[in-house]
Amino acid sequence: MKNSMAMISTDCVCDIPKSYQKKYNIQMMYYYVQTEEARFQDIKEISSDSLLEYIKEGKKAYSSAAPKEEYVAFFQSLKEKHKGPIIHICMAQHVSIAYEVASEAALEFKDIHVVDSGHLSGGMAILVLMAADMAQRGASCELIIEELQRVREKVSSSFSVASTAALYRNGRIGKKVFLICNALLLHPILNLHDSKMSPAGICIGKPKHFAKTYLRWALRKKNTINTDIVFLITAGCSYEFQDFLKEEMLRRVPFKKVVINNASGTICCNCGAGAFGVLFVRE
């Protein structure tokens, strides 16, 4: 029976706490973080805190998915442990090449299904945990994939960026936009929709002020929000600021479970220190 159940795997950019990984036996594929000196496996060889300290010194760092041959090796290792079907859940396909690379690698195996989550970070995590729970309860591979495709349209994934320095450094915005945002304390809101990331608005002011603006935007239409679980993902934020965000969030929406975790190095490379996101499901 065990081997007929689906095994769930995903990429480390889903920002799932280790306790959930262990509980559901979720297998994790790494991304790479390339610094000016060396390349590291995200989470395994470099932490987000150390990466943010490195970036703060004015140095550059970039993230990338692993190449096809490493996905092949990863899937091979999973097949050696599990003879049943495997569902691998990737970051939004228009944000990363991981979906394309993993899909090509999966062609070399039988019964490995690669799914575009349409999201990243905690938005991915919600879908991964749903799939893992369904797998543990004996749901078929087909039913799990069908449910993933249905629910991903209801997931809300967004981040508020404290500084546009990382976006400028990685070529995602021009120098003029960066200087204007920096001078006027403008903080972009980035939103995931249709597997693409795009700007959804601007917050103004210092951290606690723009955090309230972002939360008011993210948690609008409260009656449509599923309150079962919410992910609060932060990059280089203090525990005090995390507590502030949690209190403000719960003041607006009475979530039953709040999962707080640090963003992976991959997320930090692109959002920079001080970024944070609230990720949940709408009905």
Q: Are 154 and 45 in contact, with CB atoms under 8 Å apart?
A: no
Q: Are 279 and 121 in contact, with CB atoms under 8 Å apart?
A: yes
Q: Which 3-state string (H, E, C) describes 212-269? A: HHHHHHHCCCHHHEEEEEEEEEECCCCHHHHHHHHHHHHHHCCCCCEEEEECCHHHHH
Q: Are 256 and 226 in contact, with CB atoms under 8 Å apart?
A: no
Are both 77 and 168 inside the same structural domain?
A: no
DSSP labels, 99-141: HHHHHHHHTTSSSEEEEE-S--HHHHHHHHHHHHHHHHTT--H
Q: How confident is the model at residue 1 (pLDDT cuts 50, 70, 90)?
A: very low
Query: Which of 105, 123, 151 is where one domain is finished?
Result: 151
Are both 134 and 211 inside the same structural domain?
A: no
Q: How confident is the model at residue 186 (pLDDT cuts 50, 70, 90)?
A: confident
Are both 178 and 217 inside the same structural domain?
A: yes
Query: Which of 91, 122, 151 is where one domain is finished?
Result: 151
Are both 17 and 143 inside the same structural domain?
A: yes
Structure tokens at 187: 């903080």
245 in a domain, yes or no?
yes
| Overall number of domains in the chain | 2
Are both 197 and 262 inside the same structural domain?
A: yes
pLDDT in tens, 210-263: 899 999 999 999 999 999 999 999 999 999 999 999 999 999 999 999 999 999
Structure tokens at 87: 């569902």
Backbone angles phi, psi at 142, to 5 degrees: -60, -40
Partner residues linked to 204 by β-bridges: 186
Are both 136 and 188 inside the same structural domain?
A: no
The chain-wide mean pLDDT, for the chain, equals: 92
CA 74-75-78 angle, to 5 degrees, is 95
Are both 88 and 130 inside the same structural domain?
A: yes
Are both 218 and 118 inside the same structural domain?
A: no
CATH number for the domain spanning 144: value is: 3.40.50.10170
- Domain span at residue 257 reads 155-282
| Amino acid identity, position 263 | A
pLDDT in tens, 65-103: 999 999 999 999 999 999 999 999 999 999 999 999 999
pLDDT at 181: 74
Are both 116 and 13 inside the same structural domain?
A: yes
